[in-house]
Chains A and B, each alone.
Chain A
Amino acid sequence: MKKYVLKRAAISVITVFVILFLLFMLLNLMPGSPFNNQEKLSPEQIQQMKEFYGLDKPVLQRFFIYLWNMLHGDFGVSYNIQVNMPISDMVFSRLGVTLAIGLQAGILGTLIGLMLGIVAALHRRTVWDSLTTVISVLGVSLPSFVFALLLSYFLGFKYRLFPLLYNSAMPLVSTVLPTIALSMFTIASVARYTRTEMISVMASDYMMLAESKGLPRTKLIVSHVLRNTMISVITVLVPLLVNLMTGSLVVEKAFSVPGLGSLYITAIQSNDYNVVLAISFIYSVMFIAAMLLVDILYGIIDPRIRLAKE
């Protein structure tokens, strides 16, 4: 197990560096300059600014300087959004609300999805089953801004139950609508997979054996069906996590949440490369960390996979 975890972790760390290198090169080798009022500057001023930001050095050297600074928590400064503001400050002041909404949506989505899936699988061909199917088809097919729109129009605008836009005076209530909008896809996919997986587990031979040796139904479901179902549910959690990230951009924009996603959008629109680079990198790291976590969880739950990958 230890060897497996170490190997997975080492691969992840290498991937992180490769990705940072790729992102850095991509953004640095492109034409144009990070300064938005270039025409008004004299060549000497441009030279001076380049020296000030360390842009006069060769790209490779800049990459290692960047890497070194980053390992010390310094992501450089913003060029356009808030000039010379350290990006680490900008990012960390916004990370909290994004993580809060993401976690809430992830947990809510997984719990409701599991519940719906289990109920549907245990009561096949009933109203509950059809309801789950409808919810999962809708949730998987409709983009999160559709839900955001519906929620903000009905619950926020018409009935005024929740604030229409994010209000920093009441942070918890403000995250209710974004959380629901974001969790729809998770609910739908988890429900769908749980249902399918549970049904196929319940039809398997070892279930027949467990049943014929006289296990009570509750124990049968809890210790045999659910446990085996969890394996495949965990595999779909990675794509779901990616969706939470994509969704957070959309949802944050829709509800004007001052989070990482809306900062990313602002940075994209104002061509603030350093901020784009930093946030892209943070997203990638979160993504890779999640994949690593799933790989490790997988190894714990199902030893066959661990042995195959060792």
Chain B
Amino acid sequence: MDDSKFCLCTKEHTEEAEKEYANNSYAKEALYHFVANKGAVISVFVIVIIILLAIIAPILSPYSYKDVQSQFSNLPPRIPGLEQLGVFNGCRDGVNVYAQKSALNQYHFFGTDNLGRDIWTRVWCGTRISLLIAGAAVLIDVFIGVIYGLVSGYFGGKTDIIMQRITEVLSSLPQLVIVTLMLVVMKPGLTNIIIALMITGWINMSRIVRAQVLKYKNQEFVLAARTLGVSNRGIIFKEILPNTLGQIIITFMFSIPNAIFLEAFLAFVGLGVPAPIASLGSMINDGYKSAMTYPYMVMAPVVVLALLMLGFNLFSDGLRDAIDPQMKQT
């Protein structure tokens, strides 16, 4: 053996070893894995920026989402500062439309739609609505799904069989059909869209929770709790639920982009929020009709929707890898 391959152990080496084999808490470990994932970190920034803009932009904007100014319709995007560079300067085919319509004092960052409504304001109001619908639907899903899964898995036997048959029938209806039918029956509106989305949304969650409960319920710590006389409710919520939290959070995060997509889909087939309320989906639906002549009208909501979906998907991917390394996709 060559002596040069060896060296004395220094403080640095021990520190490194300690760092590598340190007994970090679960949360710290998960955070470490998450931050190491570049895509996930970027997605957090994207989501935060979009949410902030959705909250702030409509407040700061001089226009309201429903102000119809038909004399200023179909204005192309114009942004102060950038207009000097020759982009977003309010020109269409070389003609400054703002000058033509004597609106040179106005700046519509994303342009205006065919009724002269400011698209910048509408996009961020629409983002609010889309996020609200997705958030509400998913929260209710979690609530129903978790409890359903816990009860079905924990009690087992006949309860489980009956509850599983119900989910089986519900899940053999395509979600699209249920959601559309519910809206045909109930008429589209903010609450009804949320209700329609949550009717089948909880099934996936309940399945995952049930599988987790089945995994834990025969383990020693549950038996110990039962021996000590803990009630069923105590065992379910205090012993089993905390162990399934990781899975619940992951499923929760993955269902947000799904709900955003379903809302956009509904709006696209004409079952969106009623006008003049805007959601990303309804704006895409409106803009689509004139997408070839005024592409900017549909571009703004499409880009925000795409960023939102990408952001949430990458974020959930990162979160899953961090929370549950076993599920990590190689």
A, B: real partners: yes
> Which A residues have a C-beta under 8 Å from some C-beta of B?
15, 18-19, 22-23, 26-27, 30, 137-138, 140-143, 145-146, 149, 152-153, 157, 164, 192, 196, 199-200, 203, 242, 245-246, 249-250, 253-254, 264-265, 268-269, 271, 273, 276, 280, 283-284, 287-288, 291
User: How distant is B226 from chain A, measured CB to nearest CB, in Å?
Assistant: 29
Is the Cβ of A142 less than 8 Å from the Cβ of B309?
A: yes
> Of A146, A254, A265, which is within 8 A of B270 by CB?
A265
Bound CA–CA A153/B298 (angstroms): 11
How does the 8 Å CB contact mask read for B275-304 relative to A, with 1 for contact and 0 for none? 000000000100010011001001000100
> Of B173, B314, B330, which is within 8 A of A196 by CB?
B330
**28 CB-based A-B contacts, threshold 8 Å:** A15-B168, A22-B169, A23-B181, A26-B181, A30-B185, A141-B309, A141-B310, A142-B306, A143-B261, A143-B309, A145-B288, A146-B306, A149-B298, A152-B291, A196-B329, A199-B330, A200-B330, A242-B174, A242-B175, A249-B269, A250-B268, A250-B269, A265-B270, A273-B184, A280-B180, A283-B177, A287-B174, A291-B172
User: How distant is B280 from chain A, measured CB to nearest CB, in Å?
Assistant: 10
Is the Cβ of B169 less than 8 Å from the Cβ of A280?
A: no
Interface centre among A22, A145, A276 (most CB of B within 10 A): A145
Is the Cβ of B184 less than 8 Å from the Cβ of A276?
A: yes
Bound CA–CA A200/B288 (angstroms): 43
Is the Cβ of A268 less than 8 Å from the Cβ of B269?
A: yes
Answer yes or no: B313 CB below 8 A from chain A CBs.
yes
Is the Cβ of A19 less than 8 Å from the Cβ of B288?
A: no
Residues of A with C-beta under 8 A to B257: 141
Is the Cβ of A141 less than 8 Å from the Cβ of B306?
A: yes
Bound CA–CA A287/B174 (angstroms): 7
Residues of B with C-beta under 8 A to A271: 184
Residues of A with C-beta under 8 A to B169: 15, 18-19, 22
Is chain B's binding surface mostly helix, strand, loop or mixed?
A: helix
Bound CA–CA A26/B270 (angstroms): 20
Bound CA–CA A250/B298 (angstroms): 15
Q: In the complex, given contacts A26-B185, A152-B292, what are 9 additional A-B residue pairs having Cβ atoms less than 8 angstroms apart? A: A141-B310, A146-B302, A157-B292, A192-B329, A242-B174, A242-B176, A249-B176, A283-B176, A284-B177
Is the Cβ of B174 less than 8 Å from the Cβ of A149?
A: no
Bound CA–CA A288/B168 (angstroms): 11
Bound CA–CA A264/B329 (angstroms): 38
Residues of A with C-beta under 8 A to B265: 143, 246, 249-250
Is the Cβ of A288 less than 8 Å from the Cβ of B172?
A: yes
Nearest residue (CB) in A for B312 is A141
Known: A138-B310, A250-B268, A276-B181. A19 touches B173 (CB 8 A): yes
> Which B residues have a C-beta under 8 Å from some C-beta of A?
39, 168-169, 172-177, 180-181, 183-185, 257, 261, 264-265, 268-271, 284, 288, 291-292, 295, 298, 302, 305-306, 309-310, 313-314, 329-330
Residues of B with C-beta under 8 A to A149: 288, 291, 298, 302
User: How distant is A146 from chain B, measured CB to nearest CB, in Å?
Assistant: 6
Residues of A with C-beta under 8 A to B329: 192, 196
User: How distant is B161 from chain A, measured CB to nearest CB, in Å?
Assistant: 14
Residues of A with C-beta under 8 A to B261: 143
Nearest residue (CB) in A for B177 is A280
> Of A15, A18, A273, A283, which is within 8 A of B174 by CB?
A283
Bound CA–CA A146/B174 (angstroms): 22
Is the Cβ of B295 less than 8 Å from the Cβ of A153?
A: yes
Bound CA–CA A264/B291 (angstroms): 23
Bound CA–CA A19/B310 (angstroms): 34
User: How distant is A273 from chain B, measured CB to nearest CB, in Å?
Assistant: 8
Residues of A with C-beta under 8 A to B291: 149, 152-153
Bound CA–CA A152/B288 (angstroms): 11
Known: A143-B309, A146-B306, A276-B181. A164 touches B292 (CB 8 A): yes
Bound CA–CA A210/B213 (angstroms): 38
Bound CA–CA A138/B270 (angstroms): 25
User: How distant is A283 from chain B, measured CB to nearest CB, in Å?
Assistant: 5
> Of B176, B180, B302, B310, which is within 8 A of A137 by CB?
B310
Nearest residue (CB) in A for B185 is A30
User: How distant is A262 from chain B, measured CB to nearest CB, in Å?
Assistant: 10
> Of A27, A164, A196, A254, which is within 8 A of B181 by CB?
A27
Is the Cβ of B181 less than 8 Å from the Cβ of A253?
A: no
Bound CA–CA A22/B170 (angstroms): 10
User: How distant is B258 from chain A, measured CB to nearest CB, in Å?
Assistant: 11
Is the Cβ of B268 less than 8 Å from the Cβ of A268?
A: no
Nearest residue (CB) in B for A246 is B176
Residues of B with C-beta under 8 A to A137: 39, 310, 313-314
Bound CA–CA A150/B172 (angstroms): 33
Bound CA–CA A16/B268 (angstroms): 28
Known: A19-B169, A140-B313. A268 touches B270 (CB 8 A): yes
Nearest residue (CB) in B for A121 is B330
